[in-house]
Structure 1
Amino acid sequence: MIALTEEAIRSSFVNASRRERTDANLPPTWASTLWESLDYLGWRDPKLPGRAYAVIPVETGRLVGIMFRQAEASVGLRMMCAWCEDVWLNSEVVFYGAKRSGAAGRQGNTVGTYVCRDFNCSENVRRDPPLPYQGYDMEAARNTRIMQLQQKAAAFAMNL
C-alpha cells in the first residue's frame, strides 16, 4: 500500500458526513506506519469506543474509506474473519457494520462483515502457517492469501 496523507484518508470516506470525517481520530501510530506491509489501513478510534475505520485501495489508485460501528452484542462463538480467513488468529473477530454511501445510507441501509477486531489482517496473511506437507510452497500460499485479502476488502468497499 502507498503511504497516505491525512488529507487522503479523510477525503476517502464514502459513508461519513463532513463532520464525521473531520472528527475521525487517526490511528496513534499513523506516522510510523509500515505502509509496504499493509493491504489496507484499518484502525479502531482511540477516543470513540465502538467506532472503527478502514481505507481500502480499489481499482487503480482509488481509495474507499469506510466508517464502521462495532456491534454491541457478540455471538459467543469464535468467528472467522471474512477478509483474511486466518484460522490461527491472535485477536478477536467482531461484527462491524457500516452505513451505505449516498441515498441508501441516508435511508438507514447498512452492510456488515466479521473482521479482525484490530484490523491486523495484513499481518495474518503474511504469517506462515504450519507446514502441511513436505514440498508445500509457502511463498506461493502467502502471495495467494495476500491477493485474496486485497480482493475481499476491495469487494466489500465497492459494495457500499
Structure 2
Amino acid sequence: MTGMQIRHSIVNGSAAEVANIVLPSDFVELDWENLDFLGWRDSHSPHLGYIVRWDGDEPVGIIVREADGPLSRRRMMMCQLCRATHTEHGVSLFSAKRAGEAGLAGNTVGTYICANLGCSANIRVEVPHASYYSDPESVLAQKVEGLESRVSGFLRDVMRPLD
C-alpha cells in the first residue's frame, strides 16, 4: 500500500483533511503480513487517527477522532475491535464522521478502540498454554477473523447512508 493509495482510500474526510494526513513514521518498515488493518495516530494532531483496510482489491480508510475528556481510569476497558482489555489510557472513545451527505450534516459513528490503534498486534500476544487452547494457530485465526469482521462492520457503519 502506498501513501497515495491511503489518501485516496479515505471515505469520510474533506480534501484538506486528506491532504494533511501524516503517515506513520515507520510506514516503509511496516510488517504487512501481520496487519489485519493499518491503524495509527497522527503525530501532528494526536487527537486524530486513521484506520485503513483492504476491501477486495481496494483499500478503504477512515479518519477517526479521539473524544475529549478522560474515560474512567479505575476500570478495565475493552476495545470493541480486538477485544483486548486495558487499564489506564489503553482504550479511547473514537468517533468517525459518516461518509457523504450524512457526515456533512454532522452525523458520526463511535466506538471504543485501543488508544494506539494497534489492535493487530494485540491479538497476536502469545496464547496461554492451557488445556482448552489445544491449537494456538486456530485461536489466532479466530481472533484475526473476529477483528477483521468488527473493523469491516465499523467501516460499513461509517459508509452507510442514513435512511
Distance in 2 separating the partners of 1:120 and 1:89: 15
- Once the two structures are superposed, residues 14-72 of structure 1 have per-residue CA deviations (whole angstroms, 9 ceiling, x without a partner) of 000111101111111101111111000110000112011111223x1232211111011
> Which residue in the other structure is 2:17 paired with?
20
Identical counterparts, % of pairs: 35
Distance in 1 separating the partners of 2:132 and 2:71: 38
TM-score (norm 1): 0.90
Query: Structure 2: which 5+ residue stretches go unaligned?
Result: 159-163
Distance in 1 separating the partners of 2:133 and 2:94: 38
- Aligned Cα root-mean-square deviation (Å): 1.8
How much has 1:129 moved relative to structure 2? 2.9
Query: Structure 1: which 5+ residue stretches go unaligned?
Result: none
3-state SS of paired residue (2:127):
coil
Quickly say closer, same or farther: Cα 1:144–1:12, change in 2 above 3 A.
same
3-state SS of paired residue (1:159):
helix
Quickly say closer, same or farther: Cα 1:47–1:8, change in 2 above 3 A.
same
Number of aligned residues:
156
How much has 1:134 moved relative to structure 2? 6.0
> Which residue in the other structure is 2:161 paired with?
none
Give the residue type in structure 1 aligned to 2:78.
M
> Which residue in the other structure is 1:152 paired with?
150
1:41-120 matches, within 5 Å, as 41-58=38-55, 60-76=56-72, 77-87=75-85, 92-120=90-118
TM-score (norm 2): 0.89
Q: Which moved more, 1:74-83 or 1:87-96?
A: 87-96
Contact 2:50-2:62 at 8 Å conserved across structures:
yes
Distance in 2 separating the partners of 1:143 and 1:87: 19
Quickly say closer, same or farther: Cα 1:124–1:148, change in 2 above 3 A.
same
2:4 to 4, 7, 24: 7
Distance in 2 separating the partners of 1:117 and 1:23: 21
3-state SS of paired residue (2:143):
helix
Deviating beyond 4 angstroms after TM superposition, the runs of 4 or more aligned structure 1 residues are: 88-91
